[in-house]
Amino acid sequence: MRRHTVVAAGLVGLGVLCLVLAFTGSQSVREYVADNFRSAGSRTVEGSRRASLLYDSDKPPVATARQIADAVKPADRRTSPSGVFLRYEEDFVSVVPRQGGSQVIVEDDETGYRNSYFFLGGWWGTYSGRGESFRGGGPGGGK
């Protein structure tokens, strides 16, 4: 077999292998979270149409969020005092603190935006706002 044919076959073979890896190795964020964290059931927040899937992680929020983002690259991410939010094509993933680690909340985009409205509002969607002036902290100064 001529050498150039072998070289061409090798390049094409490697290319096909890359395509196979790309299609078989990719995983949705829902699949990744379900495979890598303990299910903690689901909940439906009042006013939401769909349930949020809950998972528990033994790692703190930053480490858990980094693990998820490294495995399934998000389109965007936001950080807040209360956790890390990852945005995907159709899903929102919130990584928030819980006793002993963190909780991963997987929701569709509408539900996730609504539930985390005060953290994501105005950045990932429309936002009517929660107040125009600085109120400070302490009792009565919350959301």
Nearest to other proteins of 19, 39 (CB atom): 19
Nearest to other proteins of 19, 38 (CB atom): 19
- CA 79, CA 89: separation in Å to the nearest integer? 19
CB of 142 to other proteins, least distance (A): 6
DSSP state at residue 122 = T
Nearest to other proteins of 58, 118 (CB atom): 118
**Which two three-digit tokens encode residue 24?**
């078989």
**Which two three-digit tokens encode residue 64?**
């858990």
CB of 39 to other proteins, least distance (A): 19
CB of 80 to other proteins, least distance (A): 5
Task: Find, among 93, 115, 114, 113, the residue nearest to 104 by Cα.
Answer: 93
Q: Give 64's contacts (C-beta < 8 A, 6+ positions apart).
A: 37, 57, 95, 101, 102, 104
- CA 119, CA 133: separation in Å to the nearest integer? 17
Place of tokens 């936001």: 78
CB of 135 to other proteins, least distance (A): 6
Nearest to other proteins of 39, 79 (CB atom): 79
